[in-house]
Chains A and B, each alone.
Chain A
Amino acid sequence: MHPAPSIILFTTLSGLGFGLLAFLGLGLPPVTGWVAFVFFFLANALAVGGLLASVTHLANPKNAIKAFREWRSSWLSREGVLAVASLLVMGVFAVALVFFDIRLRTVGALGALLSLATVFTTSMIYTQLKTVPRWNEWTTPPIFMLHALGGGALLAGQPRLAAILLIALGLLMMWAWIKGDEKSLAGTTMETATGLGRIGKMRLLEPPHSGQNYLLKEMAYEVGRKHAQKLRILSLLLGYALPAALMLLFTVHHLTALIAIIAHLIGVAAGRWLFFAEAAHVQRLYYGK
Chain B
Amino acid sequence: MTSLPQSTEKKLGLVIDLDTCVGCHACVVSCKEWNTSNYGSALSDVDAYGPEPQGTFLNRVHSFEAQPESGCSQTVHFPKSCLHCEDAPCVTVCPTGASYKREEDGIVLVNEADCMGCGLCAWSCPYGARELDQIFGVMKKCTLCVDRIYNENIPEEDRVPSCVRTCPAGARHFGDLGDPDSDVSRLVASRDGMDLMPEMGTKPVNKYLPPRLKDVPSDAALEATHKTPEGLFAWLDKALEKL
Chain B: CB-nearest residue to A61? B116
Is the pair A199, B56 in contact by a Cβ cutoff of 8 Å?
no
Residue numbers in A under 8 Å from B197 (CB-CB): 188, 192-193, 282
Contact of A214 among B56, B89, B194 (CB under 8 A): B56
Residue B155 lies at the interface, judged by CB distance under 8 Å to chain A: no
Residue numbers in A under 8 Å from B194 (CB-CB): 195
Is the pair B92, A73 in contact by a Cβ cutoff of 8 Å?
yes
Number of A-B contacts (CB under 8 A): 199
Is the pair B126, A283 in contact by a Cβ cutoff of 8 Å?
yes
Is the pair B94, A74 in contact by a Cβ cutoff of 8 Å?
yes
Knowing A206-B63, A213-B54, A286-B127, say if A196 contacts B96 (CB, 8 Å).
no
Distance between A19 CB and nearest chain B CB, rounded to angstroms: 23
- A160 to B151 alpha-carbon distance, docked (Å): 69
How many interface residues does chain A have, given as a range? 35 or more
- A199 to B134 alpha-carbon distance, docked (Å): 38
Is the pair B52, A211 in contact by a Cβ cutoff of 8 Å?
yes
Contact of B115 among A63, A128, A190 (CB under 8 A): A63
Chain A positions 127-154 with a Cβ under 8 Å from a chain B Cβ: 128-132
Residue numbers in A under 8 Å from B178 (CB-CB): none
Chain B: CB-nearest residue to A198? B210
Chain A positions 237-289 with a Cβ under 8 Å from a chain B Cβ: 281-283, 286-287
Is the pair A205, B94 in contact by a Cβ cutoff of 8 Å?
no
User: Which one, A27-35, A64-72, A100-108, A221-229, is touching chain B?
Assistant: A64-72
Interface string of A72-94 (1 = CB under 8 A from B): 11111100100000000000000
Residue numbers in B under 8 Å from A213 (CB-CB): 54-55, 57, 131
Chain A: CB-nearest residue to B209? A195
Distance between B65 CB and nearest chain A CB, rounded to angstroms: 4
Is the pair B199, A215 in contact by a Cβ cutoff of 8 Å?
no
Is the pair B93, A128 in contact by a Cβ cutoff of 8 Å?
yes
Knowing A211-B52, A214-B134, say if A60 contacts B116 (CB, 8 Å).
yes
Is the pair A201, B67 in contact by a Cβ cutoff of 8 Å?
yes
Residue numbers in A under 8 Å from B65 (CB-CB): 202-205
- A75 to B60 alpha-carbon distance, docked (Å): 30
Residue A183 lies at the interface, judged by CB distance under 8 Å to chain B: no
- A63 to B116 alpha-carbon distance, docked (Å): 5
Q: Among the interface residues A67, A188, A207, A212, which one has the most CB atoms of the partner chain B within 10 A?
A: A67
Chain B: CB-nearest residue to A130? B200
Is the pair A77, B95 in contact by a Cβ cutoff of 8 Å?
yes
Chain A: CB-nearest residue to B89? A130
Residue numbers in B under 8 Å from A214 (CB-CB): 54, 56, 122, 131-132, 134
Residue numbers in B under 8 Å from A206 (CB-CB): 62-63
Knowing A57-B118, A192-B197, A195-B208, say if A129 contacts B124 (CB, 8 Å).
yes
Residue B78 lies at the interface, judged by CB distance under 8 Å to chain A: yes
Residue B211 lies at the interface, judged by CB distance under 8 Å to chain A: yes
Q: Among the interface residues B61, B93, B95, which one has the most CB atoms of the partner chain A within 10 A?
A: B95
Chain A: CB-nearest residue to B134? A214
Is the pair B66, A202 in contact by a Cβ cutoff of 8 Å?
yes
Knowing A194-B64, A214-B131, say if A76 contacts B120 (CB, 8 Å).
yes
Chain B: CB-nearest residue to A285? B197
Knowing A194-B64, A200-B67, A204-B62, say if A215 contacts B131 (CB, 8 Å).
yes
Residue B137 lies at the interface, judged by CB distance under 8 Å to chain A: yes
- A66 to B112 alpha-carbon distance, docked (Å): 12
- A61 to B53 alpha-carbon distance, docked (Å): 26
Distance between B191 CB and nearest chain A CB, rounded to angstroms: 12
Contact of B95 among A76, A131, A187, A203 (CB under 8 A): A76
Knowing A59-B117, A204-B62, say if A281 contacts B96 (CB, 8 Å).
no
Is the pair A286, B62 in contact by a Cβ cutoff of 8 Å?
yes
Q: Among the interface residues A1, A209, A287, which one has the most CB atoms of the partner chain B within 10 A?
A: A209
Residue B123 lies at the interface, judged by CB distance under 8 Å to chain A: yes
- A219 to B1 alpha-carbon distance, docked (Å): 27
Residue numbers in B under 8 Å from A113 (CB-CB): none
Knowing A67-B95, A80-B95, A208-B62, say if A196 contacts B54 (CB, 8 Å).
no
B residues apposed to A, CB below 8 Å: 1-3, 18, 28, 52-57, 60-69, 73-76, 78, 80, 89, 92-98, 113-120, 122-128, 131-134, 136-138, 194-201, 208, 210-211
Additional A-B contact list (19), CB under 8 Å, known A1-B123, A199-B210, A282-B197:
A58-B117, A60-B115, A60-B136, A62-B116, A63-B98, A66-B114, A74-B92, A130-B126, A131-B125, A188-B197, A195-B208, A204-B62, A205-B63, A208-B61, A211-B54, A214-B134, A215-B122, A218-B132, A283-B128
26 contacts between A and B (CB under 8 A): A63-B114, A67-B95, A70-B94, A73-B2, A73-B3, A74-B94, A74-B95, A77-B96, A130-B89, A188-B197, A192-B196, A196-B76, A199-B76, A203-B64, A203-B65, A204-B63, A204-B64, A204-B65, A205-B63, A206-B63, A208-B61, A208-B63, A209-B54, A218-B119, A219-B123, A283-B125
